[in-house]
Structures are given as C-alpha cells and as structure tokens.
Amino acid sequence: MNLVDEKRGTSMEKNEKESMENNELPNINYRGWKVMPFIIGNETFEKLGAIGTLANLLVYLTTVFNLSSITATNIVNIFNGSASLATLLGAFLCDTYFGRYKTLGFCTFASFLGLLVIQLTAWIKSMHPPECGNEKSTCIEPSTGQMSFLLLGFGFLIVGAAGIRPCNLAFGADQFNPNTDSGKKGINSFFNWYFFTYTFAQMVSLSLIVYIQSNVSWALGLGIPAALMLFSCVVYFTGSKYYVKVKASGSPVTNIVQVLYVAIKKRRLNLTEDEFFSYISSHSINSKLPRTLQFRFLDKAAIITPQDNINPDGSASDPWSLCSIQQVEEVKCLNYCSNTKKIHWKRRWNHNSTKNWNWHVCFYTMHVSIWCGGTKKKNYGY
C-alpha cells in the first residue's frame, strides 16, 4: 500500500509540475497553415533566386568577366566555403540577440541586394570588361573597381546565407503548436513541402533560368533571380503580423564555452556535494535535468566560492565565474552522447529541438538534445 501511495504521490507531483509549466506559457495564437503561403512562398522564391544565380556562376565569371578557369573556381569555392561558415555565426547571433523573424527578414533583403549587384554587373557595360574577341590574347581582365563591385554582391549573398540557411526551417516549424496532434502533423507536412519546393526550385533554376543566361542574355538571366528574391521579401513581410515570433533566448554554444572555461578555472577546487549552484532561470528553455556522475570534473564550474557574487534574483552576477549545475548537466549530455556513440546520423526532425536551436547545419547538437531527453520550452515575444 505504501508503495502504491508513493507512486500516486509521485505521479500527482509530476502532473502538477507539468501543469505549472504549461500555465507559464503565454496564450499563443498558432495559425499553422494559414501563414504557410507566406513562409513557403518566401522560401520558394528565395531558392529560385539564389539557385538561379549561383548555378551558372562559374560560366559567368569566365565568359563575362574574362577570368581564367582556375581563378573563377577559386572565387566560387571561397564563396561557398564562406557562406557555409557564416551560417554558424548567423545561427549564434539569431539565438542570442535577434530571433528568427528579424534575422530572416534582414538576410532575405541582403540576398536581394547581392543578386541585384551581380545583375548590375551584367546589365551595365562599365561594370564588366569588354567581350573577348576571337583570340584569347585580346581578352581584357576586369578592373579593380569592377571586381570590387562583384565581390560586394558576393558579400551580400554571404550575409543572406548566414541567416536564411539556419533559420528558415525552424521559423516555419514555429508556426505550429507542438503540443497538439494537428500541430505535430503540420510540422511534418511542412518539412515535406519545404524539400518539395527546394527540388522544384532546382528543376526550374537549372533548366529554364540557366538556359536564359547561356542562350538569351546574362542581364535578363540574372535579373529574373533578383526579381524573384525581391518578390520573396515582399511575401515574407506581408505576413509579418500573423507570424509566431520566438524571442532570442541565448545560444547553447555560449553555455558550453562558459562551463568549460569555469571548470578549467576552478580545476584546483575539491568537489563537495552541498556547494553546487542550482539556480534555474524562469525563462530557461530547458526543463531541469537530473544530476549525473560522469564527467564530474565539470561539476567544479558550479562550486560556489567566496569570490562568487549572487544577484537578488538568485542568478550569478558573473556567468564566466560561476555556472549552474543545470548548465553543467547540459554540457555533460553532449559529452556523454558523443563518447557513447548513441547518436543516429539520420535526418530526423524533432519539433522541440528545431524550434529552439537553429543549428540545423550541426545535426549533432539536435540529435544530442533528442537522445538525452531534454524537453524544451519556448520563449515567445510579439
């Protein structure tokens, strides 16, 4: 009987805790598929514009800018590598400061400026070198000003990729309620439509737009993607008042670095079980994780020393000198899953992880979140 009563008591406490957590969330008006025409439309035209320009970029550099194949290849490779690395910075800034809505809006407009600049290099004759004659010896290389203007367009495209790539999927998933069956189905269906539009954009760009560029006119062939990107911006901002906008709540990368730094800083301290800093912010996106015993050296980051100051609300005054045991357990979760190799490297989407972390370029982080069982709560703003 006592065992049954204890189980009932534990179950009641768990239900009460879940109820309190749900009550803390504001009443969100999820519009789901009602806003999908804006989001999917924005993503479709954005992909048509970006792929339509970048697919034939190597040919453009060699035929219009009279660059050698080696130079043109190096420029394209540097551009692709920079755009991929920029997504890490974009995801960090989005999570920490700006949120997905502002990041997507700014970076979509930056992509439009980049495509417009590249289109102007083809349309305005003074923005590219004259066409080569029958002999290669008559080819004139682009001037410093012409190359600078072209690279300015590439720079805008890198800024655009930094925010669009890590945020567009998660922003679409934000529009569905993950706590209802219809919302979960909507998220899965949205992902299907996302990859369908990506394939559709590739088909159109690699056939129709590339044909226009190569056989009709570079100015027209690059102008169409720029116009599509402008239309993408218009579609995106048209639905602004209907979106669910999640506030920036901090990047997990910052917490990881803080825990590692403070643990190394306090490496000479002795571990004691009753001196850990156990503060959890009311705005935390993670539920409380249980204490674990692996990687105990990280626990030193949560040891309170006389030099550590605590704010009136219970938080640490300097997060680079004292971390909570909750932060430590989150970092342990990453380390534990990494070392035990319990991560399935598949494209599995979890609505909780994708709605809080933008690091879709790092599937590792998202799968760690799924495996270690950390349930996420969202921080909304309007």
Ordered DSSP codes for 348-369: ---HHHHTT---TT-HHHHHHH
Range with top average pLDDT, 135-139, 177-181, 197-201: 197-201
Higher-confidence residue of 248 and 35: namely: 35
Give the model's pLDDT for residue 373. Answer: 39
2-6, 139-143, 173-177, 181-185: range with lowest mean pLDDT: 2-6
Give the model's pLDDT for residue 336. Answer: 57
Cα–Cα distance between 370 and 169 in angstroms, integer? 17
Give the model's pLDDT for residue 2. Answer: 46
Three-state secondary-structure class, residue 286: strand
In this model, does residue 354 exceed pLDDT 70? no
Q: Residue 154: which pLDDT band, with cuts at 50, 70 and 90?
A: very high
Give the model's pLDDT for residue 234. Answer: 92
Q: Residue 314: which pLDDT band, with cuts at 50, 70 and 90?
A: confident
In this model, does residue 125 exceed pLDDT 80? yes
Give the model's pLDDT for residue 317. Answer: 77
Give kind and range of the element (H or E) at residue 245. strand 245-246
In this model, does residue 310 exceed pLDDT 80? yes
Fold of 31-131+143-239: Growth Hormone; Chain: A; (1.20.1250)
Tokens 């400026």 correspond to: 113
Higher-confidence residue of 361 and 302: namely: 302
Mean of pLDDT values over 264-269: 87
In this model, does residue 146 exceed pLDDT 50? yes
Type of residue found at 153: G
According to DSSP H, which parts of 128-285 are helical? 144-173, 181-204, 210-215, 218-238, 252-265
Q: Residue 223: which pLDDT band, with cuts at 50, 70 and 90?
A: very high
Mean of pLDDT values over 299-312: 84
Q: Is the dihedral of CA 191, 195, 200, 206 positive or negative?
A: positive
Q: Give percent of the chain with pLDDT exceeding 90.
A: 24
Give the model's pLDDT for residue 309. Answer: 83
Higher-confidence residue of 275 and 198: namely: 198
Nearest to 96 by CA among 365, 358, 368: 358
Give the model's pLDDT for residue 290. Answer: 78
Q: Residue 327: which pLDDT band, with cuts at 50, 70 and 90?
A: confident
> Please, what is the angle between helix 69-93 and helix 99-123, to 10°?
160
- The pTM of the full predicted model, rounded to 2 decimals, is 0.71
Q: What are phi and psi of 316, to 5 degrees?
A: -75, 135
Cα–Cα distance between 352 and 304 in angstroms, integer? 32
Q: Domain segments of the chain: what residues? A: 31-131+143-239, 252-344
Give the model's pLDDT for residue 218. Answer: 92
Tokens 């998933």 correspond to: 173
Mean of pLDDT values over 320-333: 83
pLDDT, mean over the chain = 77
Tokens 């088909």 correspond to: 203
Give the CB-side neighbour count of residue 102, counting CA atoms within 13 A. Answer: 12
Higher-confidence residue of 292 and 80: namely: 80
Contact between 100 and 171 under an 8 Å Cβ cutoff? The reply is yes
In this model, does residue 119 exceed pLDDT 90? yes
Q: Read off the tokens for 338.
A: 């990494």
Mean of pLDDT values over 339-358: 43
